[in-house]
């Protein structure tokens, strides 16, 4: 399952209820990578990504969605996300993280 | 014999809980489908509003499967793995050990009957766990032993003499 897969890729895992929490948790926890939903309460995923990247330019944020739209891919890229991951392809997470670490 | 193995002998050993990983193929597909359906229900309730895919999946998964906190220790050439499985016994737990992966599955059904007016109805509450864990070392899967005590499943699995790191092929970008 997805949670197991994420847990297997990391020692510690934090879930955030909304975009504002994602910003504060990022600052405190500074994780190796972030899986970001597109829409969240308070601050949406794209805006949260922009804010995190502004403060932590090396942050590795992957936007996750079920929709493969060129406009969304472009928006994620412009916000500073390192990738755009379709939920069904989450098993590629390990490969993506290896590429990112290189 | 190590101290851990001696301790294990004193507990009830339950080596009959081991099955092969193939045993779980159907569970994996079934759980994935059930989670996907629950996630879709959330998407539907929200009026098919895009953007919450990860949240929906995580919440659906948490609804269907109980958390299984685990701890892995490397002691005297063995991986000593403790998994919290309260409410589960050797009868409703199954474990598969492969050289680099461990799967723990459990399912119980709690039946309670309630009287409402003159009707008796049953509520069945599913209580499922399904946890896949990538092991930090290659192990000798066929030498694993298991015990359950106070809601904690303890697995002791000897590491392979030839311990290889988890090899991952790096694909070019």
Pairing of strands B152-158, B145-149: antiparallel
pLDDT of residue B75: 95
State whether residue A11 sits within 8 Å of chain B by CB: no
Selected for mutation to probe chain B from A5, A6, A37 (highest B CB count within 10 Å) is A37
A100 exposure class (CB count in 10 Å sphere: 0-12, 13-18, 19+)? middle
Taking 50 as the pLDDT cut, the residues of chain B under it are 5-10, 163-164, 167
Please tell me which residue of chain B has the smallest CA distance to A85.
B54
pLDDT of residue B172: 55
Q: Which residues pair with B83 in a beta bridge?
A: B70, B153
| CB-CB under 8 Å, B31 with A66 | no
**Running along chain A, 102 residues long, what does each successive block of 10 average in pLDDT?**
82 88 94 92 93 95 88 93 85 79 65
| CB-CB under 8 Å, A2 with B57 | yes
Write down the ipTM of this complex: 0.83
pLDDT of residue B7: 46
Report DSSP letters for B5-35, one per residue.
HHHHHHSPB-GGGB--GGGGHHHHHHHHHHH
Three-class DSSP category at A25? helix
Three-class DSSP category at B1? coil
**Alpha-carbon separation of residue A87 from A63, B51, B57, B63, B101 (angstroms):** 9, 11, 9, 18, 23
pLDDT of residue B155: 96
Longest CA span, chain A: 34
pLDDT of residue B6: 45
Write the residue in B52, B131, B171 that is nearest to A4 by C-beta: B131
pLDDT of residue B9: 47
Please tell me which residue of chain A has the smallest CA distance to B132.
A4
A5 exposure class (CB count in 10 Å sphere: 0-12, 13-18, 19+)? middle
């Amino acid at each position: 399952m997805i949670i197991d897969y994420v847990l297997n890729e990391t020692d510690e895992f934090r879930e955030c209820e909304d975009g504002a929490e994602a910003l504060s948790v990022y600052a405190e926890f500074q994780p190796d990578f972030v899986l970001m939903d597109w829409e969240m309460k308070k601050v949406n995923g794209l805006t949260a990504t922009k804010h995190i990247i502004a403060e932590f330019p090396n942050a590795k944020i992957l936007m996750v969605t079920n929709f493969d739209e060129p406009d969304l891919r472009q928006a994620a890229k412009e916000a500073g996300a390192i990738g755009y991951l379709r939920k069904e392809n989450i098993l590629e997470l390990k490969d993506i993280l290896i590429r990112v670490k290189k | 014999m190590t101290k851990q193995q001696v301790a294990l002998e004193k507990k009830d050993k339950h080596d009959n809980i081991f099955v092969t990983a193939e045993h779980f193929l159907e569970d994996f597909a079934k759980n994935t489908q059930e989670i996907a359906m629950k996630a879709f229900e959330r998407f539907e309730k929200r009026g098919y509003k895009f953007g919450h895919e990860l949240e929906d999946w995580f919440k659906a998964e948490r609804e269907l499967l109980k958390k299984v906190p685990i701890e892995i220790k490397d002691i005297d050439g063995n991986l000593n793995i403790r998994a919290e499985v309260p409410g589960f016994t050797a009868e409703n737990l199954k474990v598969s050990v492969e050289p680099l992966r461990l799967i723990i599955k459990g399912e119980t059904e709690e039946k309670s009957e309630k009287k409402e007016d003159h009707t008796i109805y049953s509520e069945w509450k599913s209580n499922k766990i399904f946890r896949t864990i990538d092991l930090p070392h290659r192990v000798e899967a066929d030498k694993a032993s298991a015990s359950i005590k106070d809601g904690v499943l303890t697995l002791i699995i000897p590491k392979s003499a030839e311990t290889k790191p988890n090899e991952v092929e790096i694909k070019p970008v």
